[in-house]
Structure 1
Amino acid sequence: MKVALIPMKVEVGNFEANWREFEKRFKESIEHAPDFVVFPEYCLTGFEEWDFSGAELYGEIVERVSSLAREAGVYIVFGLLEPHKNCVYNSALLIGQDGRVILKHRKFQEPMKFCTGNTVRTARTEFGKAAIIICGDLYNKRIAKWVRRKKPDFIFVPMEYSPDYGEPNEEDVKAMSERAELLGVRTFIVNSSPPGGAWVFSSDGKLVASSDGDGTLVVEVHAKGIKFPSQSSDRW
């Protein structure tokens, strides 16, 4: 399979501007014939404490992204705010090639004003069994137990590593590597821009491909591992 990881620039609270960027980056990535296109955490609304108004757009966002997936015949992974009863979750979806939502993950690792998830689910695709976790979930002990129990073949990690903390450094990447090794599955991570970045780890935690800034990263995954990584430091 071929995976395109898109470190998208996100304007907090500006859905239409984010949608234009999302759609543009998606169309650019399709030129490389990916099977999966992966975007960051709540990439179409951003999030500023404690403004949950972006959750009101959940239905419209799912409809628009589903239409793109169906028209292009690809899987799309992305993060968004999800309203449910009296709760708001930081969620991520896997949209199938037919536009249906085939997998939803609700983030475990969130402050008290969010409702939080309590399980890791998987979805079967023609490329193997997929799972999603979100950002800080990567470092959650319960997540690791769930992943080992469910045994996905690969896992996607939409992220928003805040620019307030600077850019991801060698120590951060090493920590990601250690967690990927603990999970024991191929791990695809994509961050919002700024600061951006995308990383792909093999099941033994080895970093096999990465990109900086908002450059899209494309990797091909073969039966014997991840091979032929390619990247663009600029947008296509």
Structure 2
Amino acid sequence: MKMRIALVPMHVRVGNFEYNWKELNRRFIEALSYNPDILVFPEYCLTGFREWDFSGASLYGEIVERVSKLARENSVYVIFGLLEPYKSCVYNSALLLDRNGEVILKHRKFQEPMKFCTGNTVKTARTEFGKVAIIICGDLYNKRILKWVKRKRPDYIFVPMEYSPDYGELNEDDFKAMSERVKLLNARTFIVNSYPPGGAWVFDGNGDLLAMTRGQKTLIWDEANV
């Protein structure tokens, strides 16, 4: 069964939940006009993150409830990143919600510096489209992630990202690095970055770039056309 995916590189304001929520809603409604099966938003897209302010983790429950309602009311899958409180620390996490708004997959980021909790496994969820995995941003370059992905063998990998290089726009070296890592993962991979600088990319299992957008433009990918 083929799926249609909307990768949404939305503008994120650090620490401004209400602005981010309005922006996610706006972009969500826009993307629905393309009849997607899955909408994908960036890493901690509703709170942003500034070292070492973990206050956005307190909104975890409210964020899950709100996004679950959007998924359920529109019968779509949603993937998005958020900060997850856990005992005395915080995970950088991403969730997959099904068409009923239920959390069917959670990934906790491996590639984080001190002060974060860090994940130690990659899980998958079965959908009508195949087996799905999520990793987050720098996880793409993590050796332990590679071992887990090879063990789990997902059909598709989704990568919510928040990457703003010091030199501004992502360059050819960035794309080449993405391509090389995706080739090792050996699965079609969908990457969406927060704005600025934004951007979204689709790679096949050989690491070849199939489609991309720059800035805040939503990337619509239809597997039926492959």
TM-score range, shorter chain: over 0.9
Which residue is equivalent to 2:31? 29
Which residue is equivalent to 1:175? 177
Determine the C-alpha separation between the residues in 1 that align with 2:13 and 2:174.
24
- Corresponding residue pairs, total: 224
- 1:16 partner SS: helix
Determine the C-alpha separation between the residues in 2 that align with 1:111 and 1:144.
19
- 2:223 partner SS: strand
Q: Does 1:118 align with 2:120?
A: yes
Q: Report deviation, 1:16.
A: 0.4
Output the amino acid matched with 1:30.
Answer: L
Q: Report deviation, 1:162.
A: 1.7
Determine the C-alpha separation between the residues in 2 that align with 1:43 and 1:207.
24
Determine the C-alpha separation between the residues in 2 that align with 1:206 and 1:71.
35
TM-score of the superposed pair, with normalisation by structure 1: 0.94
Which residue is equivalent to 1:106? 108
Which residue is equivalent to 2:187? 185
1:84-135 residue CA offsets vs partner (Å, 9 max, x unmatched):
1112000000011000000000000001110000000000000000000000
- 2:146 partner SS: helix
Determine the C-alpha separation between the residues in 2 that align with 1:151 and 1:75.
21
Determine the C-alpha separation between the residues in 2 that align with 1:165 and 1:181.
26
Structure 2: stretches of 5+ with no match in the other structure? none
Which residue is equivalent to 1:139? 141
1:189-226 residue CA offsets vs partner (Å, 9 max, x unmatched):
0000000000000011110000000000001114xxx6
Which residue is equivalent to 1:20? 22
By relative contact order (CA 8 Å, sep 6+), the higher-ranking structure is: 2
Determine the C-alpha separation between the residues in 2 that align with 1:216 and 1:179.
23
Q: Report deviation, 1:158.
A: 0.3
TM-score of the superposed pair, with normalisation by structure 2: 0.98
Q: Does 1:201 align with 2:197?
A: no
Determine the C-alpha separation between the residues in 2 that align with 1:70 and 1:147.
29
Trace 1:1-80 onto structure 2 (pairs within 5 A): 1-80=3-82
Q: Report deviation, 1:164.
A: 3.4
Which residue is equivalent to 2:91? 89
Q: Pairwise CA RMSD of aligned residues?
A: 0.8
Determine the C-alpha separation between the residues in 1 that align with 2:213 and 2:50.
26
1:63-100 residue CA offsets vs partner (Å, 9 max, x unmatched):
00000000110000000000011120000000110000
Q: Report deviation, 1:165.
A: 4.1
Q: Structure 1 vs Structure 2: percent identity of aligned residues?
A: 72
Determine the C-alpha separation between the residues in 2 that align with 1:13 and 1:53.
8
- 2:211 partner SS: strand
Trace 1:141-156 onto structure 2 (pairs within 5 A): 141-156=143-158
Verify the 8 A CA contact 1:163 1:194 in the aligned structure 2: no
Q: Does 1:128 align with 2:130?
A: yes
Determine the C-alpha separation between the residues in 1 that align with 2:168 and 2:119.
28
- 1:172 partner SS: helix
Verify the 8 A CA contact 1:199 1:211 in the aligned structure 2: yes
Q: Report deviation, 1:37.
A: 0.2
